Chains A and B, each alone.
Chain A
Amino acid sequence: MNWRNIILLGLIGTTLSAIACAIYARIYTQAFYVDFSKVIALPNMIAACAIGCFLMATGYALAIKWKGEKTVGWLNVAYSVLSFASIVGVLGFNLPLDIESPEMFPGMVIPMHFFPALSVLSVYPLLKSK
């Protein structure tokens, strides 16, 4: 996997996951009448997705360079486990006190934590075959 594909993987992953986050946030906000835009605005979501996707893409490149293609499967497992582990941060997160219904916050943000991994894992086989 060359650096061009790594950047492409990061970019496509970021785009897909940011779109998924934005759509999900809109549906959730309208369905449950909550407003968390103060803490998770669209730019924040895009930035978080970009960091996650580019880190995962870089991880593929480094792992393949180090041990070859056989590490990819374990790396995918690691990405899934890390995404799952990251929800601990959401559960312990303190919102500003003027935001109502903080108990609804994890329901909105936890699924979003899986979107970067989902998009990168989905796109990787397509780029790899090229």
Chain B
Amino acid sequence: MKKIIYPAFIATIISTSAFTIVTGNNWTVKEDSYTVKFNSKKGKDFSGIFKGLKSSIQFDEANLSTSKISASIDANTVNTGNGMRNKHARQGLGADKFPNIKFESVAIVKTSSGYEANGKLTVKDVTKEIKLPFTFNKNANGGVFVGKFQLIPSEYHVDKSGTPELLEIELNVEVTQ
């Protein structure tokens, strides 16, 4: 009997502790408590937001090597505050053929101002490596990821007439564990 109990006891402790570690790093985005906003920085002046964020966030400030962020947003949810421009933006993004805009981190490193996620951003049929600087502020309910980066839409084949030449993407994502 002892032969069975001891291995079972050890297995239980190992699996429970492993589960605790994984849960401690996993963050879930709070429903409707995030913004994925873009602002035109060059060219036509307008801004907009995306909804439909789906993400998998494993982030541990003390152990960045095991941290990983992958996220996608629904290109069809683009909202610029103007119906005609929304249609134009959806066409520019090819949302019917490429409904998701995806980011997947390859490595997360510490910087002087916070962190930087190096990863691959996929828009339409183009995947490019980008650096996404962000900060993470823990609070009583979880934490907030705040990030900002710029991209050139034409590099991702988003080049319909009227598309801004340069976009700034702002992310503000509230998370819980």
A and B: real partners?
yes
**B-binding residues in A (CB < 8 A):** 91-97, 99-106
B79 contacts which of A102, A104, A106 (Cβ < 8 Å)?
A: A102
Query: Do B37 and A103 touch (CB < 8 A)?
Result: no
Query: Do A106 and B83 touch (CB < 8 A)?
Result: yes
Query: Do A97 and B82 touch (CB < 8 A)?
Result: no
Query: Do A100 and B79 touch (CB < 8 A)?
Result: yes
**Of B7-15, B45-53, B127-135, which stretch is located at the interface?**
B45-53
Closest to B84 in A: A91
Q: How distant is A6 from chain B, measured CB to nearest CB, in Å?
A: 38
A102 contacts which of B37, B46, B47, B82 (Cβ < 8 Å)?
A: B82
B45-78: CB near A (< 8 Å → 1, else 0) gives 0111100000000000000000000000000000
Number of interface residues of B (CB under 8 A): 13
Q: How distant is A102 from chain B, measured CB to nearest CB, in Å?
A: 5
Query: Do A102 and B83 touch (CB < 8 A)?
Result: yes
Chain B contact surface mostly: mixed
- B46 surroundings in chain A (CB, below 8 A): 94
Give the A-B contact count at a CB cut-off of 8 A.
33
Within 8 A of A (CB), among B82-107: 82-84, 86-87
Query: Do A103 and B83 touch (CB < 8 A)?
Result: yes
B87 contacts which of A103, A104, A105 (Cβ < 8 Å)?
A: A103
Q: How distant is A87 from chain B, measured CB to nearest CB, in Å?
A: 12
Q: How distant is A94 from chain B, measured CB to nearest CB, in Å?
A: 4
Closest to B87 in A: A103
A92→B44 CA distance, assembly (Å): 13
B4-43: CB near A (< 8 Å → 1, else 0) gives 0000000000000000000000000000000001000000
Query: Do B83 and A94 touch (CB < 8 A)?
Result: no
- B79 surroundings in chain A (CB, below 8 A): 97, 100, 102
Interface centre among B46, B49, B82 (most CB of A within 10 A): B82
A5→B145 CA distance, assembly (Å): 63
Query: Do B82 and A104 touch (CB < 8 A)?
Result: no
A46→B173 CA distance, assembly (Å): 40
Q: How distant is B171 from chain A, measured CB to nearest CB, in Å?
A: 15
Q: Is B162 an interface residue (CB 8 A)?
A: no
Query: Do B86 and A102 touch (CB < 8 A)?
Result: yes
Query: Do B83 and A97 touch (CB < 8 A)?
Result: no
A125→B48 CA distance, assembly (Å): 48
Query: Do B37 and A95 touch (CB < 8 A)?
Result: no
A103→B48 CA distance, assembly (Å): 14
Closest to B48 in A: A97
Query: Do A92 and B82 touch (CB < 8 A)?
Result: yes
Interchain residue pairs with CB less than 8 A apart (30): A91-B84, A92-B82, A93-B82, A94-B46, A94-B81, A94-B82, A95-B81, A95-B82, A96-B81, A97-B37, A97-B47, A97-B48, A97-B79, A97-B81, A99-B81, A100-B79, A101-B83, A102-B79, A102-B80, A102-B81, A102-B82, A102-B83, A102-B86, A103-B83, A103-B84, A103-B86, A103-B87, A104-B83, A105-B83, A106-B83
